[in-house]
Structures are given as C-alpha cells and as structure tokens.
C-alpha cells in the first residue's frame, strides 16, 4: 500500500466517526419523534446534510494522498450543503414532494460519488470497502424512495382501537430515519476499525494491511 494512502487512512477514522455521530442523531430524532411529517423530515434531513457537508469538506484534507477521492469528497460536501440549506429553507412550508425530491436527488448523487471513490481505491485501501458500502446504502435509499407511492394515504384502526393513518410522508421520513441509523452503525464500525488497524505512528498495522 502506498504510504500516502496509509496515512490518509490513519487520519480518516475521525471523519467516519464524526459522520456516524451526525447520522445517529438524525436517526434517533426521527425514531423517537411521534411526528413523521414532511416538515420534520426536511428539518432533520437539513441539519443532517449541513453537518455532514461540513465533515466532508473538513475531512477532504485527510485525503491529500489521492486527488480523485479528495475532489469527490469536496463534491459530496457541496451537494450535501446545498441540499441541506434548501431543506431547511423549505421545512416550514415544504410538503412531501419537496422532501421526496431533495432526499432522492441527494441520495443518488452523493451515493454515486461515494461508490465511485470506493471503486477508485479498490484493492489499494480499506477505505474503498467502507465507501462502497456507504455509497451503496445511500443509493438504495433513493431506490426505496422511488418505491413509496406518493399518493399513499391509508387509514386504519389498530389493535388498541385507535384510528391511525399511513401516508407517504410517514413512510418516507421513517425510511430516512432507518437509513440514518444503519449508516451510523456502519460508519462507526468502519471508523473504529480504521483506528485500531493503525499503529501510533499512523502506519497501517501489518496484519490489517495483509487483508487488503
């Protein structure tokens, strides 16, 4: 493994853990909120995307060994920042169509960029495996959104006799919350695996490098 990529890898674990924390907060807010409206979805996604963008832009400095992945990280940061700011602006007035469109486009574009970064470094860095995984899950979020009927509005009575409803907003916001929770776990595992796979000088531990 080239020394530059190994050094990038040794520093990147903080970026992965920071991304995990942001995703975990988003997942927890949606999970424990009784309100699954599009307005809540836009607010939570907006905060998630803006904070993720800041992590991406700051974290791009850890990838100075590879120009392609650094530019990809910057592009993801810019896209996330734009999507997050737009979501926060529209949160008070935007409905399900706005939440659907913003998250769908964000997931497709940033997921594709992360997948590309992973394939670019495949076989040269363990970062590739993590990026392909997160990128794939993000693209799957977009696919899941496409499967949600936008006109969904079903009313039913639960076992406790309380009338409930199932709408496109509830399903899509819940889907994003589940995505955030899954990504938080994956990023945390990947980040700490990178930390424990490097020695105190920042070099990749031999037993870990042999697995690449």
**Domain residue limits, the chain:** 3-209
Q: How buried is residue 37: exposed, middle or buried, by Cβ count under 10 Å (0-12/13-18/19+)?
A: middle
Hey, how many other C-beta atoms are within 10 angstroms of the C-beta on 160?
6
DSSP 160: T
- Position 176 scores a pLDDT of 97
- Provide the whole-model pTM: 0.84
Architecture (CATH level 2) of domain 3-209: Alpha Horseshoe (1.25)
CA 157 to CA 149: how far, in whole Å? 21
For 68-122, write each residue's pLDDT tens digit: 888 888 999 999 999 999 999 999 988 899 999 999 999 999 999 999 989 888 8
């Amino acid at each position: 493994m080239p020394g530059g990529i190994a050094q990038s890898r040794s520093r990147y674990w903080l970026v992965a853990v920071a991304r995990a924390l942001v995703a975990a907060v988003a997942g927890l807010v949606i999970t424990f909120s009784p309100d699954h409206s599009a307005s809540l979805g836009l607010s939570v996604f907006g905060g998630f995307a803006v904070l993720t963008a800041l992590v991406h832009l700051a974290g791009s400095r850890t990838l100075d060994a590879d120009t392609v992945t650094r530019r990809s990280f910057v592009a993801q940061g810019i896209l996330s920042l734009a999507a997050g700011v737009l979501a926060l602006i529209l949160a008070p007035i935007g409905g399900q169509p706005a939440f659907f469109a913003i998250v769908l486009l964000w997931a497709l574009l940033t997921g594709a960029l992360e997948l590309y970064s992973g394939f670019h470094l495949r076989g040269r860095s363990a970062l590739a495996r993590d990026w392909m995984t997160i990128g794939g899950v993000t693209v799957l979020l977009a696919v899941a959104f496409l499967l949600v009927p936008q006109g969904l509005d079903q009313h039913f009575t639960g076992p406790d006799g309380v009338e409930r409803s199932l709408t496109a907003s509830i399903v899509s916001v819940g889907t994003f919350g589940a995505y955030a929770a899954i990504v938080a776990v994956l990023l945390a595992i990947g980040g700490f695996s990178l930390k424990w796979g490097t020695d105190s000088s920042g070099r990749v531990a031999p037993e870990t490098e042999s697995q690449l």
